[in-house]
Structure formats: structure tokens, C-alpha cells
A = this chain, B = another copy of it.
């Protein structure tokens, strides 16, 4: 049942990585960068649907997404599941597990992807030595908390179409941060997964897409979405 986790070992060079500015090595000197590279001893590859980790797995490392994307989801005892995040290149995944030394959610690749493994014990050690790395690690964890609060606001007080608009704008903004188009989106996830993330049924997501298209806000073709009217999309999210 569980697909075999394909894994390749490759040497890492943060200094050459084009995600440098988004990822962990922010504001580091060349020397400090070198020490961070020394820490991360492997890059692993994943095919779509491969697990990066599963609920209950022992916690050893954080992972920096080098390419591709992952989704995280929490499972409820009764089989219900909730997608808690869609993560893109440059983002750090696995922070949930620090709390109990075992993963409280699971992470799956949404396409062919690569991650840099960051053994957490070594990362803590290094961050005791490099204050700017320590500070940055704290910022990354805090940013995750802020992100989650935003999703709570979305789930707790927005209606279906507001949620979808907020979702699309979020993708657009993260695309931009990576030097890609703000208006041309390639969705990596299904309507079912979007629905789970947004607290909606897949039919509702589909209807909202169709409605946006009728209104001339977007152009949808399954997983290819073009944002036509960003201002009106923003207005929709309630920034009125």
C-alpha cells in the first residue's frame, strides 16, 4: 500500500540555491553559510504521492523544499482528514513534530519534488552559535503560527467564495515571491484537496470556480487558472 519512498542522496549548496532568499540561509556570512551546508548532508527526491513523513513518525529532521510541492494533512480517529497546508519550494516543513518528537500530521509530495534534510539537533546546535540563524529559525516558526491564524480566520468567518478568492490570492502572492507570474497559476492539487483545505465540499469549490469565471474574475481550465481581475478578487475577500 505505502508507495516506496524513492530517495537519492545529493550534495547540497545553499550558496548556489536560487531559493537562498526564501529559505533558511538568510543574512548569513559566507562562513556561516558553509557551516549550514555542512549540516545538511542530503537531498532526497520524491515522486508524486510519495510520503515525506507520516503521522507518528519519529522526528529527526526538518525539511527545506528544494523543488516541487507538498501537502500536509492531519487525520482524525474516525477517518476524517483535513489538509492543513500546501507547501512550495523554499518553505520549511515538519515544524509540528518538534513539540512531541513525533509527527502530528503527514506530508505527501504533490508532484516530483526534492527536499533538503535538516537534522534538527544539528540545526539547534548551529543556531546556538549563529544568532542570526537562531532568529531566523524563530521567525520561520512564528510565520507558521501567523499563517495558521490566517487560515482560522478564513475557516471561521468567511463564506465559500471568499475562501476560494483568498486561496487564489495567496497562491498568486507566493508565486510572485518566487519570481513567477502573479496571474498564471498551475494548481497542483485537486478540487477535493482544495475543498479539504478550505473546509468546503469539492462541488462547492467547483461551483465557486465556475461562478468566478462567469463573472470574469478568472479563467479556469481544470488545473490552469488565470487571474483576470485581481482588484475585484481582493475586494471579494472582504478588504472592503
Contacts and interface: CB of A to CB of B under 8 A. Distances in A.
A146 B101 CA distance: 12
Interface size on A, as a range, is 35 or more
Interface in A110-163: 124, 127-129, 131, 134-135, 138-139, 141-146, 148-153, 155-157
A240 B151 CA distance: 27
B135 A138 contact: no
A81 B196 CA distance: 23
- Interface on chain A toward B: helix, strand, loop, or mixed SS? helix
Interface in A62-110: 74, 76-78, 80-82, 84, 95-100, 104-105
Contact of A96 (B80, B97, B146, B238): B146
A208 to B, nearest CB: 16
Contacts of A142: 95-99, 141
A109 to B, nearest CB: 19
A81 B152 CA distance: 11
Interface in A144-186: 144-146, 148-153, 155-157
Given A84-B152, A155-B155, A157-B199, A131 B138 contact: no
B128 A131 contact: yes
B238 A77 contact: yes
B96 A149 contact: yes
